[in-house]
Amino acid sequence: MADYSELVARALAEDIGPGDVTSENTVPADLPAEGVFNTKQHLVLAGVETLRIIFPGIEVLHEDGAVLDKGEPIAKARGQARFLLTHERVALNFLQRLSGIATLTRAYVDAVTGTGAKILDTRKTTPGLRVLEKMATHAGGAINHRMGLWDAILIKNNHIDLAGGVRPAVEKALQSGIPVECEVRTHGEIVDALQLGVSGLLLDNMTPAKAQEEIRFIKAESNGKCSVEISGGVTLDTVRAYAETGTDFISVGALTHSAAAVDINFRIRPLVA
């Protein structure tokens, strides 16, 4: 399991600074309390591991990937009231943001059920939070694509233009010995990439009808050995149509760059002997 401790520590330091002056000047230092995280809408849960870091000993009632309805408790934390108050906002920020990503991701995954297409996430993440946001897309049912620039070769339009075309870009990339996926915009680029032996093609900003035509050609020419990914302008309204083209993957940047935070609250009550 990945270690998110450093990310959480930075978030807490950003929010708390030298101290929570409101809680310190309103709440008794020795007051024990219990706080409960509750859903206020239907959602797919993500971010539970951040709660475990923020509140040691927290009682987690559901794990990442759980589908919860409005009013369900997520976790219970006990401790000094001041501590719970001071850590409340950061915990909610993580939980609401990450569960929002997981919830949107599940909507895309459900929309392509039965087609054979898999939903991929992208590198369009909040700077510094990629590991957490990709954890959330995984909780929603997507496949984590590239974590960064180091773990796969994906030749994009700018690479092609700067290299002088698909052929020189692919030929040079193949010398690395790493499997090569290449973004293509025209039938001619598809032919060039296939002739050179790429392992995957990324169809960029094509209509479902055009994508389906090209996918039939790609699968026939490569004997099914070349995978196909569709990207560009895919929405919840269009993802099913793209999935029915026969593509292997659909990458959706919106999973992370456009997901709305879900509604979760944290209710704290004093504990009396």
Q: Which CATH class is domain 143-251?
A: alpha beta
Domain boundaries, the chain: 5-109+259-270, 143-251
Tell me: the pLDDT tens digits for 57-72?
Answer: 999 999 999 999 999 9
How does residue 3 score in pLDDT terms, banded at 50, 70 and 90?
confident
- Average pLDDT over the chain, rounded to an integer: 97
Distance, CA of 84 to CA of 268 (rounded, Å): 8
- Note the pTM of the prediction, 2 decimals: 0.96
Tell me: the pLDDT tens digits for 119-168?
Answer: 999 999 999 999 999 999 999 999 999 999 999 999 999 999 999 999 99
How does residue 36 score in pLDDT terms, banded at 50, 70 and 90?
very high
Q: What share of the chain is helix, strand, coil (3-state, %, to 5)?
A: 40, 20, 40
Distance, CA of 166 to CA of 157 (rounded, Å): 9
Asked whether the predicted pLDDT for residue 1 surpasses 80, the reply is no
Asked whether the predicted pLDDT for residue 91 surpasses 80, the reply is yes
Tell me: the pLDDT tens digits for 95-107?
Answer: 999 999 999 999 9
Select from 3.90.1170.20, 3.10.129.10, 3.40.640.10, 3.40.50.620 the CATH code of 5-109+259-270. Answer: 3.90.1170.20
